[in-house]
Structure 1
Amino acid sequence: MITIHLKYEIDPDRVEDFAEYGRRWITLVNRFGGVHHGYFLPSEGDNDIAYALFTFPDFASYERYRKQSAEDPESRAALDLARTTRCIRRYERRFLTPLDHPETPWTQAPGA
């Protein structure tokens, strides 16, 4: 299992545009076989940082999603929304493995 963590630096004057971008990607990730855990928009504190989390069964599934979404008209429209509104200034992507996943080596008891 692989969870993708995205940290976005967004334009605080374009939060609604970013929210629309996020709503589109939640649907798209789920359609392409992932499980989207949501977008998290600024509330208190920094007004220009947002997050997203979504999971795929494995890295190969994530790579298929990347390929399929690159060819998908709805995915391209979501990317165009971000480009034209400039709601995203930059982003960072991290790949994480949940600690409680049974295939994760560090969840096994010592000596197992």
Structure 2
Amino acid sequence: MVTCFLKYVIDPLKIAQFEHYSKLWIDLVNEMGGLHHGYLLPHEGPSNIAYASFSYPSLAAYEEYRNAIPQSPKCQAALDYAVEHQFIVSYERNFFKPLFEGVETAARLF
């Protein structure tokens, strides 16, 4: 499994628009074979930083998702919304191997 972790710098005056965009992508990733873990929107602390993470079974499965985006009208509509409303200043994308089980949990599985 691979988890994509995103850090966004957003316009703090457009958090509502970013929230709408985030909800679109949660549904899209889940519809396209991934598991979206949600977004973390600004609350306390910096008003212009947000995070998101989602997982795919493998990096190859993630690449299939990325390659399907240009052919998806729903994905294109979400991307168009972001361009129209200009709420994302920049973002960083990193990939991680998630670990969901502790020693005790893994021992109970076998």
TM-score in terms of structure 2 length: 0.89
Tell me the distance in 2 between the aligned counterparts of 1:13 and 1:100. 35
SS in 2 for 1:89: strand
Which of the pair is proportionally richer in helix? 2
Provide the rounded CA distance (Å) in 1 between the counterparts of 2:52 and 2:100.
Answer: 20
**Aligned residue number for residue 38 of structure 1:** 38
Indicate the SS of the match to 2:37: strand
Q: What is the CA–CA distance in structure 1 between the aligned matches of 2:12 and 2:21, rounded to whole Å? A: 14
Q: Which residue in 2 is equivalent to 1:87? A: 87
How many Å separate the matches in 1 of 2:82 and 2:69? Answer: 15
Deviates more, 1:81-90 or 1:91-100: 91-100
**Inter-partner Cα distance in structure 2 for 1:17 and 1:26:** 14
Which ranges in structure 2 are unaligned for 5 or more consecutive residues?
102-110
Does structure 1 residue 50 correspond to structure 2 residue 50? yes
- Whole-Å separation in 2 of the counterparts to 1:67 and 1:37: 21
Deviation >4 Å, runs of 4+: none
Question: CA–CA distance in 2 between the matches of 1:20 and 1:55?
Answer: 21
Offset of residue 100 of structure 1: 4.9
CA apart distance, 1:98: 1.3
Quote the Cα distance in structure 2 between the aligned partners of 1:82 and 1:41.
16
Give aligned pairs, total. Answer: 101
Residue 98 of structure 2 is matched in structure 1 by: 98
d(CA) in 2 for partners of 1:69 and 1:34?
13
What's the CA shift for 1:69?
Answer: 1.5
SS at match of 2:80: helix
Are residue 74 (structure 1) and residue 100 (structure 2) matched? no
For 1:39-75, what per-residue CA distance to the aligned partner results, in whole angstroms no more than 9, with x for missing partners?
1100000000000000000001000000112210110
Output the TM-score relative to the length of structure 1.
0.87
